[in-house]
């Protein structure tokens, strides 16, 4: 991609309106200073002294963080949080991100706020070391009253945006935002607005999803299609193409150290190799950066190969940011895609 085309695409980001439907979490980083270690007088156990707390949106919020870093003009999160302290922190973190508007985000006493609590050992001159995570999740079905509100927000937002991103982050079906009823609402929107790009990703796989743009990893593609797990890039491309033709929509596949692949129903298959490593890495958040950049690029008018190039560069940037779920901005992307330009 030459600098002029890069500028044309990314220069349009400030005019875009993007909806993000999914499970918004609070990522609460607890920075521990090992030099301040103590032993509890009461229990005799080690005490980890926290010297800094960093709350930031996680889950679908990681996609939203990346959209904001890209300079997307209007970002509409569609999801829920509890009326608890974590919900206050999440709402506050979302509200402070440039471009975010919260009229479609629900606060409710009927749910706990999905929280990833991440203790980190932070020592000068060393990469952060993450300890065992402490998670807070909902284990019961999402109440119908909340589903109804989410469906109303999906329908309303779909009429105003240039692209919709769907992220299902929960382990137990129907306990989060993207329930079966909400998926039916997405199906209705996709059928009514054929020209509206809708990109979906789910940690449990996309089986049962309506025919929208699928984004998945190679293992998820294998599970969905019944194909062997250890496939060459060429064979993954053939499998993705068959799925794209069945759905009538583009399929994107992340291949970890092998890069990214896309297949269009018309027969086009493109593979972009991963960029070389530039030091220590942490892959957390890379997939969400890919989703944000694919959706933004497509909404701005990018072709499939251009979208893959932008998303591949974003993933490379994010994995080199340690101790946080990172993002990639337009300046960073430019430095990788057009170095020295």
Position 324 pLDDT exceeds 80:
no
Query: Would the pTM of this model clear 0.85, i.e. be above it?
Result: yes
The per-residue pLDDT for range 13-38, each reduced to its tens digit, is: 999 999 999 999 999 999 999 999 99
251/11 Cα distance (integer angstroms)? 26
Give 143's Cβ-side CA count (13 Å radius). 11
93/56 Cα distance (integer angstroms)? 6
Of the candidates 135, 189, 145, the one whose C-alpha atom is nearest the C-alpha of residue 163 is 189
The per-residue pLDDT for range 238-293, each reduced to its tens digit, is: 999 999 999 999 999 999 999 999 999 999 999 999 988 888 877 877 899 999 99
- Three-class secondary structure of residue 254 per DSSP: strand
The two three-digit tokens of residue 187, written as one number:
């199906």
The per-residue pLDDT for range 115-146, each reduced to its tens digit, is: 999 999 999 888 889 899 999 999 999 999 99
166/212 Cα distance (integer angstroms)? 10
Q: What is the pLDDT of residue 340?
A: 58
Q: How many CB atoms lie within 10 A of CB 123?
A: 13
β 74-82/17-22 pair status: parallel
Q: What is the pLDDT of residue 151?
A: 98
Domains in the chain: ranges and CATH: 3-25+58-112+138-337 (3.40.1190.20)
Enclosing H/E stretch for 284: none
The two three-digit tokens of residue 157, written as one number:
């937002």
Q: What is the pLDDT of residue 230?
A: 83
169/176 Cα distance (integer angstroms)? 8
């Amino acid at each position: 991609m030459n600098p002029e085309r890069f500028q044309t695409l990314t220069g349009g980001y400030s005019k875009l309106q993007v909806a993000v439907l999914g499970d918004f979490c609070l990522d609460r980083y607890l920075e521990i200073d090992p030099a301040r270690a103590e032993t509890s007088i009461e229990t005799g156990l080690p005490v980890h002294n926290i010297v800094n707390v960093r709350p930031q949106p996680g889950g679908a919020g990681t996609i939203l963080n990346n959209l904001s870093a890209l300079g997307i003009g209007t970002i509409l999160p569609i999801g829920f949080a509890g009326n608890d302290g974590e919900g206050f922190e999440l709402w506050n973190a979302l509200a402070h991100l440039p471009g975010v508007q919260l009229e479609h985000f629900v606060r409710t006493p009927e749910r706990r706020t999905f929280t990833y609590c991440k203790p980190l050992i932070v020592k000068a001159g060393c990469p952060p070391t993450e300890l065992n995570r402490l998670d807070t999740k909902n284990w019961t079905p999402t109440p119908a009253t909340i589903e109804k509100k989410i469906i109303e927000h999906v329908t309303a937002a779909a009429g105003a945006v240039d692209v919709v991103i769907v992220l299902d982050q929960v382990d137990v079906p129907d306990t989060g935002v993207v329930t079966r009823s909400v998926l039916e609402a997405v199906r209705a929107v996709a059928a009514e607005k054929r020209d509206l790009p809708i990109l979906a990703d789910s940690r449990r796989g996309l089986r049962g999803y309506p025919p929208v743009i699928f984004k998945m990893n190679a293992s998820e593609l294998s599970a969905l299609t019944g194909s062997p797990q250890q496939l060459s890039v060429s064979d993954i491309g053939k499998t993705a193409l068959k799925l794209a033709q069945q759905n009538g929509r583009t399929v994107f596949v992340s291949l970890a150290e092998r890069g990214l692949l896309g297949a269009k129903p018309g027969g086009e298959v493109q593979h972009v190799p991963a960029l070389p490593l530039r030091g220590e890495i942490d892959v957390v958040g890379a997939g969400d950066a890919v989703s944000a950049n694919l959706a933004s690029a497509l909404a701005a008018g990018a072709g499939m190969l251009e979208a893959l190039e932008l998303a591949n560069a974003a993933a490379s940037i994010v994995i080199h940011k340690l101790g946080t779920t990172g993002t990639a901005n337009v300046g960073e992307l430019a430095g990788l895609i057009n170095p020295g330009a």
